Amino acid sequence: MKQFIKTNFLLIVILANYFYILFAMFISANNIGGLILILTVQALLTIFLLSSAGENFIRQAIYNGRELLFESERNYLNPLFREVYKEALKHNPNLSRDIELYIIDSLEIQAYALGKNTIMITQGAVNILKEEDLKGILAHEFGHISNHFTKVLIFLQTSIWVATAAMWLYKVIARVIKYILKTKENDYGSGTIKFISFIIDSVFVIPIATVQFIIAVGRRTNELYADDFAAEIGYGEGLRNALILIHNLDLAKSRSFLERLMDTHPPTPERISRLETA
């Protein structure tokens, strides 16, 4: 539990504040029925997404992940995967024994961990990375599952969906209010009406931007813990080499300050440097 809180602290803070605001809003409005309805819907959605069926749905519908269909894929990837899996279990015996590897048919060099039993790697990573580098990438993804990051993300995602629905409702109400204000422009003056409309439009801008930034920082922190996990089970060098290759390929990409600020991954040179001293 201590390690779980440590590796997911900022995301847990976001979730705690979300539920606090949710309870405060509905209780202050004396709408216990609405609160129970929202919590029930979110609980059912979370339970589904954490189930095997939900994990399979996300893997196929969102990531388009597939099983290792070709014998050449199985012969090459399964031994690498089983080797890393064995070392991950030594480090964390509580890991699920049902984790499986899937392929995403994309030329990008990426890998993802999902739920309790899914690790996915792109065809581009398989084509370009050496065996030891692939092991490092896989070890990093095992780190995400070991740190329960993938489960926290499910809770976070369902909370974001509920908040998004609330935002949609707010926008509908805001449009109605702005329309009514527009009819009163002759009474209060266009400047006053525009200012009030600006306030209405800006109510959630700062909180949402702040939450997005904290989530990004929390996810970047967890990436570093997953790197540490890979190094601790003996695949730090392979992960470092993979990150060096990825960094060199990304040099041609230009990213704005805002994109870097909201990035869910730490700067790749920082990760490489940490692994060199691990």
Query: Which residue, among 54, 36, 8, has the nearest Cα to 156 in the 3D structure?
Result: 8
Confidence of residue 250 (pLDDT cuts 50, 70, 90): confident
List of E strands, 41-157: 65-66, 100-104, 111-114, 118-122
What pLDDT shows up at residue 101?
Answer: 97
What pLDDT shows up at residue 252?
Answer: 65
Mean pLDDT, residues 80-101 taken together = 96
- Give the DSSP H/E element, type plus range, for residue 201: helix 190-202
Backbone angles phi, psi at 62, to 5 degrees: -95, -45
Chain centre distance of CA 57: 17
Mean pLDDT of the chain: 85
pLDDT of 11 strictly over 70: yes
Query: Half-sphere exposure (CA, 13 Å, Cβ side) for 198?
Result: 6
**Segment 44-84, tens digit of pLDDT:** 999 999 999 999 999 999 999 999 999 999 999 999 999 99
**Segment 109-159, tens digit of pLDDT:** 999 999 999 999 999 999 999 999 999 999 999 999 999 999 988 888 888
Q: How far apart are the C-alpha atoms of 241 and 133, rounded to whole Å?
A: 6
Residues 6+ apart with CB under 8 A from 211: 14
- The whole-model pTM stands at 0.85
The larger pLDDT score, comparing residue 274 to residue 7, is at: 274
Q: How far apart are the C-alpha atoms of 181 and 214, rounded to whole Å?
A: 35
Contact 104/123 with Cβ under 8 angstroms?
A: yes
Q: Which two tokens stand for residue 71?
A: 């014998």
Show the CA angle centred on residue 153, arms to residues 147 and 157, nearest 5°: 175
Domain limits, the chain: 1-278
Strand, helix or coil for residue 100: strand
**Segment 203-241, tens digit of pLDDT:** 666 666 777 777 788 888 899 999 999 999 999 999 999
